[in-house]
Amino acid sequence: MKNPRIIFMGTPDFAVASLEAVLNAGFEVIAVVTAPDKPAGRGLQVNESAVKKFAVANGIKVLQPLKLKDPSFLSELQELKADLQIVVAFRMLPEMVWDMPPMGTINVHGSLLPQYRGAAPINRAIMNGETETGVTTFKLKHQIDTGDILLQRRISIGENETAGELHDRMKVVGADLLVETIQKIVNGDISTITQDQLNPDQLKHAPKIFTEDCKIDFSKTTAEVHNQVRGLSPFPGAFTTLQNKNCKIFKTEKRITGPSIPPGEFETDGKQRLSFACADGYVDVKELQLEGKKRMQVEDFLRGFRKV
């Protein structure tokens, strides 16, 4: 089979790694589809997606539809005559889009499907204390993240690894897996597995992160609080209140020892240690950001902090 004409759909930095890997592997990307430009920041300067910036720098045609069912966008897609579409960290596609190319549409998802279907698989896996996750390539179909699986690759999760750190590792693994998937499709050397064949006893989901997911409940165990903090770091960030101000916590270490203060209260030596009591021990804060201040290491924070 000849190399396919590919349309790539994605928006954030996570998707750029896959787009770059596809190009470096010698495949032809005839266009990218990405989010419309948005005004951002105090000056409301136009903010272009990471995928758009990369595409423009590499001379690739860019499409930025407001609505994916827009007739003019659909017409432009048809005129491009893509053989294959790739979706990485993009929005949900209507059937008229994902079913258009003869070779179908491939998605790269940051979990071992069918586990952690949804918008926040990296965050949710860490928040749930998983020690392993992975990346899946699959063919799109009607229901989100339910298509037939092409390839999977497992990734271990470190005990103190944050969502941001796992994201940066996973985007490289995902890019490699995507290239391998395309090569196998081109060579006719791939078979699919329906997700029903892998259906476990208990499905874990990965819904979008909301504000209530970010508020720390120190009545939970040390492990649960630690996992919440690292699963939401660096964005959107787990938070609590510290002396009547919102305080985001980005890194912690567990200390399992009977707390001498009630859950949610804190103690500090004023120099290197700021510890919040949990149900069965403490989390020692390593990086934090008090409302109105910059993010900093706990030692730097404590230099200007006075417990009242």
Strands 266-268 and 149-156: unpaired
Average pLDDT, the chain: 95
Three-state DSSP class for residue 128 = coil
Residue range(s) in the chain whose domain bears CATH number 3.10.25.10: 211-303
For domain 211-303, give the CATH number. 3.10.25.10
201: β partners: none
Strands 5-10 and 84-88: parallel
- pLDDT for 60: 98
What six digits make up the tokens of 1?
A: 């089979």
pLDDT-based confidence at residue 1 (cuts at 50, 70, 90)? low
For residue 257, give the DSSP letter. Answer: S
Residue 86 clears pLDDT 80, i.e. is over it: yes
- pLDDT for 181: 98
- pLDDT for 243: 87
Each residue's pLDDT tens digit, 201-244:
789 999 999 999 999 999 999 999 999 999 999 999 999 999 89
Give the C-alpha separation, 159 to 130, whole Å: 9
Across the chain, where does the E strand assignment appear? 5-10, 28-33, 38-40, 45-47, 62-63, 84-88, 105-109, 132-139, 149-156, 238-242, 245-255, 266-268, 274-277, 282-290, 296-297
Domain 5-198 matching CATH 3.40.50.170: the answer reads yes
Residue range(s) in the chain whose domain bears CATH number 3.40.50.170: 5-198
- pLDDT for 91: 92
- % of the chain residues with pLDDT over 90: 89
Averaged pLDDT, 7-22: 97
Each residue's pLDDT tens digit, 145-196:
999 999 999 999 999 999 999 999 999 999 999 999 999 999 999 999 999 8
- pLDDT for 115: 97
